């Protein structure tokens, strides 16, 4: 957690703002947003994609270090085929349109999920964006695409079992740290666990997102549908976070 100190008033009273380093957003409500306007769900997804750029730039400007965006879950394959096809096309459009602007703003693209199971063109668009932004040192824009928290935990378990069978580690070596190192978020090192998880659209559930990593995350639910979610809404969520008392099971010494 970074602590920013700002001068509040002329009489030099200090206001402490605690900024989350890792913010994760469950971008929900594209379908309802479109339906309200009597348009197809696909129209909502397009607007949702455009909003990703707005919120990524806002998070970068606010000094957030990692922004993980839930773009497609392992369960979303169960939607109608034309919607799935469109959702698989969206990353291609997003990166074609916005990579130059991401580079200009020093934003680095990364991802978590079963990337190899994406259609080839989608996979390639994502990998190209990662390659094109790999030297950037600003915000890490981490896309959860074809991501599922349960699959992630099962895959980590398989990998650890194989390491034991191959004699690389002993059962006694398995602890939380080793488990964490076998999760998809291991590339984020000490920033793997989101400080704040925001979900838009009024739903209050985790929907298989970052199950391990959310153990001590703060949650913030916004009634706004994702395409309507603004930089000001993000600032509001960060302000709410700043007032939370994170105790991690301990007690606050007074």
What residues make contact with ligand IPE under the rule CB under 6 A? 26-32, 70-73, 76, 87, 201, 203, 205, 207
Instruction: Pick the catalytic residue from 76, 128, 182, 208.
Output: 76
Question: For residues 180 and 153, what is the distance between their CA atoms, to the nearest angstrom?
Answer: 9
232 vs 54, 84, 229, 239, CA distance in Å? 11, 31, 8, 10
Stretch that binds Mg ion, among 20-28, 71-79, 168-176, 245-253 (CB under 5 A): 20-28
Is 28 designated active site? yes
Task: Render 7-47 in DSSP notation, one character per residue.
Answer: E-STT--EEEEEEPSEEEEE---HHHHHHHTT--HHHHHHH
**Shortest Cβ distance from residue 132 to ligand IPE (Å)?**
24
Is 135 designated active site? no
Report the C-alpha dihedral over residues 133, 77, 226, 64, rounded to 10 degrees. -30
**Shortest Cβ distance from residue 83 to Mg ion (Å)?**
11
Q: Binding to Mg ion by residue 152, rule CB under 5 A? A: no
Helix (H/G/I), strand (E/B), else coil: 146: strand
Hey, what are 104's tokens?
A: 């200009």
Which CB sits closer to ligand IPE, 32 or 191? 32
Hey, what are 43's tokens?
A: 């129209």
Contact 186, 180 (CB under 8 A): yes
Instruction: Establish whether 206 is an annotated binding residue.
Output: yes
Instruction: Establish whether 74 is an annotated binding residue.
Output: yes
Question: Per CB under 5 A, which of residues 24..43 are in contact with Mg ion?
Answer: 28
Instruction: Establish whether 235 is an annotated binding residue.
Output: no
Contact 107, 134 (CB under 8 A): no
Which CB sits closer to ligand IPE, 27 or 210? 27
Instruction: Establish whether 193 is an annotated binding residue.
Output: no
Of all residues in the shown chain, the one whose CB is closest to ligand IPE is 31
| Positions marked catalytic | 28, 76
Q: Which residues are annotated as a binding site for Mg(2+)?
A: 28, 218
**Binding residues for Mg ion, per CB under 5 A?**
28
């Amino acid at each position: 957690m970074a602590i920013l100190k700002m001068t509040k008033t002329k009489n030099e009273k200090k206001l402490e703002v605690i900024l989350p380093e890792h913010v994760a957003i469950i971008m929900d409500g594209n379908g309802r947003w479109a339906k309200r306007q009597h348009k197809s769900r696909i129209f909502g997804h397009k607007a949702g994609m455009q909003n990703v750029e707005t919120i990524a730039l806002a998070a970068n400007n606010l000094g957030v270090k990692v922004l993980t965006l839930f773009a497609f879950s392992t369960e979303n394959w169960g939607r109608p085929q034309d919607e799935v096809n469109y959702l698989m096309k969206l990353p291609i459009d997003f990166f074609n349109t916005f990579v130059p602007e991401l580079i200009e703003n020093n934003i680095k693209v990364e991802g978590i999920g079963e990337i190899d199971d994406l259609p080839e063109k989608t996979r390639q668009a994502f990998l190209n964006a990662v390659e094109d932004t790999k030297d950037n040192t600003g915000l890490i824009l981490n896309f959860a695409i074809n991501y599922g928290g349960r699959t992630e935990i099962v895959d980590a378990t398989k990998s650890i079992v194989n390491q034991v069978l191959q004699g690389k580690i002993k059962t006694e070596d398995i602890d939380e740290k080793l488990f964490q190192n076998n999760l998809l978020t291991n590339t984020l090192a000490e920033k793997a666990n989101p400080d704040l998880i925001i979900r838009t659209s009024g739903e209050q559930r985790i929907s298989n997102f970052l199950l391990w990593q959310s153990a001590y995350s703060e949650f913030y639910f916004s009634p706004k549908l994702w395409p309507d979610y603004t930089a000001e809404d993000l600032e509001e969520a960060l302000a709410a976070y700043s007032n939370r008392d994170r105790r991690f099971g301990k007690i606050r010494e007074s």
